[in-house]
Amino acid sequence: MSGNIMNAAVMGMNAQTSWLASISQNIANSSTTGYKDAETQFTSLVDQSGAGNYSAGGVATNTVSMNSLQGSVVGTATTTDLAVQGNGFFVVSDSAGDTFLTRDGSFVPDSSGNLVNAAGYYLMGYSTAAGAASPSANSTTGLVKVNVDQNSPPLPTATTSGVFSANLPSTAAVVPTASAPAAGGTTYTEKTSLVTYDDLGAPVTLDVYMTNLGNNAAGDPQWEVDVYNSADAAAGGGLPYTPATPMATSTLVFSPTTGTLTGGSNLTNGDLSIAIPNGQTMSLDMSGMTQVASAYAVSTATTNGNAPETPTGLSISANGTLSYTYASGATTAAYDIPLANVASPDSLTSVNGTVFSTNVNSGQIQVGTAGTAGFGSIESSSLESSTVDLATELTAMIQAQSSYEANSKVFQTGANLLDILNKIQA
């Protein structure tokens, strides 16, 4: 019997030692970014014996990393510091190319521009340089190291779309059709210029002329819109242009009661197609044009595209899109940073560097976009703090110490009983 007592006491001391070990690990990582509290769980063991007898079995322990806990998110001054608010992990890889999961988002560029955290793990994402990524929901196939090297050659972006909205004064004098620019005339009502870009990023200025043609047979007000390349203008600028034929032209028709655009020639869903010299065909949205008894006023005049620029910075959105930013205010998406999760995050295998690997108990990896169903959001310029609470750990340490001491007393009592028994037998 004394032997059972001593064995149970030894197992109790071992169990408390395991608890103290996890407490020590937690306290040591109380300041580790993305660290998840390790919890020691106790399970009783019973040594089956005959009726009327009881044999102590002892206790067993199992330490679980509470990976599903959310740590506090704190702001930083570094854009590439990332935190997950909600479910999910960043996908990272080591120098050998093996992939892991982590909540440690303390990423900075290495000498090659690859984002790497303090433990030496590289952030993985989908490159969008060749277009939108096509991720696999149950695999990390297609993921590459996220590289933010901004020393690449400056790249232009050709203009492909624009928006032009303005009010055309209904009180303006009517211009005879023969005198309008489209007929080779030089008479017009209003003019505005738009800057666009060709394939090499060279600016191409478009001169947009608007001419009041009066009402048509149905009584609807009409305006003629003619677009010319400013480089073809006459000496000193303006009409006539060579060639005299506009790059694009349209007759806009307005409602006589509301002044809104009701239709127009050469328009597709309100868009006017304009072939930019040495560039792309731009769709100029003119659906917001109006004609009321008010002064000429441009409300919107925007085009996409830009001259050759080098990135001046980067931004990372809540859904994981990493974009380069330019001095002009333009942005270009470079990577999609996904999140990954498993059915049982607390069952993941812990690996050095605050990373985890999947196993049979954790379930298969699932990859998705941050902010979508089942995944949290990504916060840039932020880090997730350790989930360790020092007050709780210090309290647990006292409990573990007391339990260890109590088990040692039981062991000592068992040893004393065994000693007495030996003396009796002697």
Q: What is residue 396's predicted lDDT score, i.e. its pLDDT?
A: 86
Strand segments, DSSP code E, in 286-330 are 297-303, 306-309, 313-316, 321-325
Provide the Cα torsion 11, 13, 14, 17; round to 10°: 160
Per DSSP, the residues of 155-187 read EEE---EEEEEEEPPTTSPP--GGGSGGGT---
The topology under which CATH files domain 156-308 is: Tick-borne Encephalitis virus Glycoprotein; domain 1 (2.60.98)
Q: What is residue 55's predicted lDDT score, i.e. its pLDDT?
A: 65
Q: What is residue 49's predicted lDDT score, i.e. its pLDDT?
A: 58
Q: Residues 9, 414: contact at Cβ < 8 Å?
A: yes
Q: What is residue 47's predicted lDDT score, i.e. its pLDDT?
A: 65
Q: What is residue 167's predicted lDDT score, i.e. its pLDDT?
A: 98
The residues pairing with 331 across neighbouring beta strands, listed in sequence order, are: 325
Q: Domain segments of the chain: what residues? A: 2-66+387-425, 78-148+335-377, 156-308
Q: What is residue 78's predicted lDDT score, i.e. its pLDDT?
A: 94
The helix (H) or strand (E) run that includes residue 194 is strand 190-197
Angle (nearest 5°) at CA 115 between 306 and 311: 15
Whole-model pTM over 0.75: no
- The dihedral region occupied by 424, where left means phi > 0, alpha psi between -120 and 50, and beta the remainder, is alpha
Considering only CA atoms, give the Rg of the chain: 36
Between CA 372 and CA 137 the distance in angstroms is 13
Interstrand relation of 161-167 and 281-285 (parallel, antiparallel or unpaired):
parallel
Instruction: Provide the terminal-to-terminal Cα distance of the chain, rounded to the nearest Å.
Output: 18
Residue for token digits 């306290």? Answer: 27
Angstrom CA distances, 411 to 73, 110, 424, stand at 46, 55, 20
Residues of the chain with confidence (pLDDT) below 50: none
Q: What is residue 51's predicted lDDT score, i.e. its pLDDT?
A: 57
Buried b (16+ CB within 10 A) or exposed e, 126-140: bbbeeeebebeeeeb
Q: What is residue 153's predicted lDDT score, i.e. its pLDDT?
A: 67
